[in-house]
Structure 1
Amino acid sequence: MTNKPLSKEFYSFITFFSTVLVITSVIQGVAFLRIGSKIVTLNAFAPWIWLIIILLIIANAAMLRYLVHHGYRTAAVACVASCIPMFFQYAGLLNADLRGIYQAHFHVLAYALFGTTLLWGLSLAFSKTGEKKWLRLSGILTVLFTVVLAAVYYSYFHTQSVATKLLLDQANRWISMAAVISVVPLLIHFRVEGKRVADNSVAKTGPALLKLAALGGVFVLGFNFSVEATGRAQPYKPSELELRRAKRFEAYHFTDGSGDTLRYRMLEPLDYDSTQKYPLVVCLHHGGSHGSDNIQQLSADPAPFLMEMGNRKKYPSFIFMPQSPEGMGFSGAYGSPSVDSLVFGTIRQLQATLPIDSKRIYVMGISGGGYGSWHLISAHPELFAAAIPICGGGDPRYAPKLIDVPVWAFHGARDNLAPVAHSRDMVNAMRKAGGKPKYTEYEFAGHGIWDKVRDEGIMEWMFAQHRD
């Protein structure tokens, strides 16, 4: 420990950057509260995360200097430990390769985050720093919020109730937002200590420029991020084109025995003849079309492609387009609520009421629909004659069940939303198990590969498949 006090400029610096982090936490918390995990799909998300990483490095470096200066070694170690999983999480959100590792081991990372944050809170409350009342209070609040968030996380992944999962998801958003309160005592502590230091330091240009850059970054990037998140949170208003398209066929809904409902649209074959049997195409939308309006999924690829007159004439079929409600999905990936049972229930009902060729039921989808496509054939491989999962992934453990299901998977090698490893792993697992899936990977493409996929002859291939 050194007797020489830290300068007033240092306290001003650490207080400033801690305050800026609080502001960024509030901005991100509001966005997360309004649109949930969709924030990762915003165009402004990557620049925003880079800004947060830089601010975290600066603020935590200053915090570490403060702790080491005062001989708070336990808290210093805990500070470093808490940063490691946090930075890996942010890196996983920015880098596709790391995201694949992150998503494959998200439980491990989550508990590492909870564990190290808990360690940080305990160190503030019960080590030597606990002698400072504001540091102790910050530690106590950190512990309380971490324990509650960990309990919510654990409950979310150990309940089978969809309603409970949705409730816990909302609770997680609110609690994450409120957790920023634990930083406030730190700000008070640094401000109080800073006032006790004599102002005998010489102002330096470097710290002043960092403050100015941080303020500008938060203003510009925070504004862009907030505006885009706000726009995404607005109630969906269908365009005139979408309304005209929706009028072409009836809106339906399926309700299971427990009262859960799936909204969907069904397009009949051209020149429909009830005495003939037709294939059924299950069309799964991407993550941007969730809702309860029963319209958005009609504009989400590949639905418009399937509805093109040329395809309808050449490949007459029933086209089943379900819409997943907000907060749910088609695959149940990462423990999220899934409408898969409702999709299967609807298919069984359609088979009982329409002349559907049970040997020619196909599924295709993009992004969230791609994950859903893998999931549906994994759950009931005996049902499907073929699948076209685009920018998706599944559980390789189910690959042995899929060896007799014709699959043509697509992915962009530079996909920053859905790691290309997810398709590669499924395809390789199927081949290892004895299956013969087709796989097309675009070396220089990202997530938006549909314009390439639609020109690959997928309709001809898909409609040539049938179950024995």
Structure 2
Amino acid sequence: MQQRPALVIYLHGGPKRGSDNTNQMTEEAIYIITDYLRRNRIHTIIIVPQCPDSLTWGVKTNEALKALIDEYVEKDKVDENRIYLFGGSMGGTGTWLMTSAYPRLFAAVMPVAGNPETADADLVAYTPVCTVMGSDDNLMTIPRVSTFVEKLQERSGKILFDIEHGWSHVKTCIDSYTDARLDWIFGHKRLNH
């Protein structure tokens, strides 16, 4: 019997919001991640939802995203122990918040250049997290993330935290998805049900 595919959800950044369901597909990170999955022959279903103009990823979108994930799990279309969440910028913040809202849902998550400050470290600590920040990011400051990472470490969370010297916000949102980091993410499976 063939193994059910993994499920990858990618949350885009703020400029790609709308209702055309195409603008979000212009984010380069999607293609870097899918190229990795193709090269490594990881059978995957990828969902790239679009956040409405009037919202940001977070509290008001979490339920809709969870319902979408549940639909795939309940119809037995994906491996419920291999659900992964990615996001850059606003999508990075959304990844932190979604992980906090559903602490045992994801096998691993990768919020990039996102703000974790309103997430709950006690809940996020259940999920392996790889996060990347750029030293020259003018939109998201490193201390916001490093302080939260310290809280996760205090709670014995599995965390990979990299700061890339000289990287701007945009460069961080594109170039963070290295093979080594993606190996780390996809090397995790959900352990607790």
What TM-score do you get using the length of structure 2 for normalisation? 0.89
Offset, 1:313? 4.4
Map 1:310-321 to 2 at 5 A.
311-314=37-40, 315-321=42-48
* Counterpart residue type for residue 120 of structure 2: Y
Q: Confirm or deny that 1:455 pairs with 2:172.
A: no
Determine if contact 1:406/1:436 at 8 Å carries over to the other structure: yes
* Counterpart residue type for residue 279 of structure 1: A
| SS of alignment partner, residue 8 of structure 2 | strand
* Counterpart residue type for residue 138 of structure 2: N
Determine if contact 1:297/1:303 at 8 Å carries over to the other structure: no
| Higher relative contact order (Cα pairs below 8 Å, separated by 6+ residues) | 2
Among 23, 28, 32, which residue is 1:305 paired with?
32
Q: Confirm or deny that 1:322 pairs with 2:54.
A: no
| Inter-partner Cα distance in structure 2 for 1:384 and 1:304 | 21
Q: Confirm or deny that 1:284 pairs with 2:11.
A: yes
What does residue 98 of structure 2 align with?
376
Deviates more, 1:429-438 or 1:369-378: 429-438
What does residue 242 of structure 1 align with?
none
| SS of alignment partner, residue 49 of structure 2 | strand
| Inter-partner Cα distance in structure 1 for 2:53 and 2:117 | 23
Determine if contact 2:29/2:174 at 8 Å carries over to the other structure: no
What does residue 22 of structure 2 align with?
295
After superposition, what is the alpha-carbon deviation per residue over 1:325-354, rounded to whole angstroms, capped at 9, x for unaligned? 10211124xxxxx31111111111121224
Determine if contact 2:16/2:50 at 8 Å carries over to the other structure: yes
After superposition, what is the alpha-carbon deviation per residue over 1:358-388, rounded to whole angstroms, capped at 9, x for unaligned? 1111101100110011011100011011011
| SS of alignment partner, residue 323 of structure 1 | coil
Q: Confirm or deny that 1:441 pairs with 2:170.
A: no
Change (3 A) 1:397 1:320: closer
Offset, 1:437? 0.9
Q: Confirm or deny that 1:362 pairs with 2:88.
A: no
The structure that is helix-richer by fraction is: 1
Q: Confirm or deny that 1:425 pairs with 2:147.
A: yes
| Inter-partner Cα distance in structure 2 for 1:383 and 1:397 | 15
After superposition, what is the alpha-carbon deviation per residue over 1:32-71, rounded to whole angstroms, capped at 9, x for unaligned? xxxxxxxxxxxxxxxxxxxxxxxxxxxxxxxxxxxxxxxx
| Inter-partner Cα distance in structure 1 for 2:173 and 2:93 | 15
| Inter-partner Cα distance in structure 1 for 2:139 and 2:119 | 23
Q: CA RMSD in A?
A: 1.9
Change (3 A) 1:348 1:407: same
Q: Which runs of 5+ in 1 are unaligned?
A: 1-272, 333-337
Among 119, 123, 145, which residue is 1:401 paired with?
123
| Inter-partner Cα distance in structure 1 for 2:120 and 2:155 | 10
| Inter-partner Cα distance in structure 1 for 2:125 and 2:143 | 19
Change (3 A) 1:277 1:302: same
| Inter-partner Cα distance in structure 1 for 2:166 and 2:23 | 29
* Counterpart residue type for residue 55 of structure 2: M
After superposition, what is the alpha-carbon deviation per residue over 1:376-411, rounded to whole angstroms, capped at 9, x for unaligned? 110001101101110012236611222231111001
* Structure of larger gyration radius: 1
Offset, 1:324? 0.4
What does residue 331 of structure 1 align with?
58
| SS of alignment partner, residue 57 of structure 2 | coil
Change (3 A) 1:465 1:367: same
What does residue 353 of structure 1 align with?
75
Change (3 A) 1:365 1:340: same
What does residue 236 of structure 1 align with?
none
| SS of alignment partner, residue 364 of structure 1 | strand
Runs of 4+ off more than 6 Å: none
Determine if contact 1:301/1:366 at 8 Å carries over to the other structure: no
Determine if contact 1:276/1:355 at 8 Å carries over to the other structure: no
| Inter-partner Cα distance in structure 2 for 1:456 and 1:421 | 26
| SS of alignment partner, residue 38 of structure 2 | helix
Offset, 1:456? 5.0
The structure that is strand-richer by fraction is: 2
What does residue 410 of structure 1 align with?
132
Change (3 A) 1:313 1:363: same
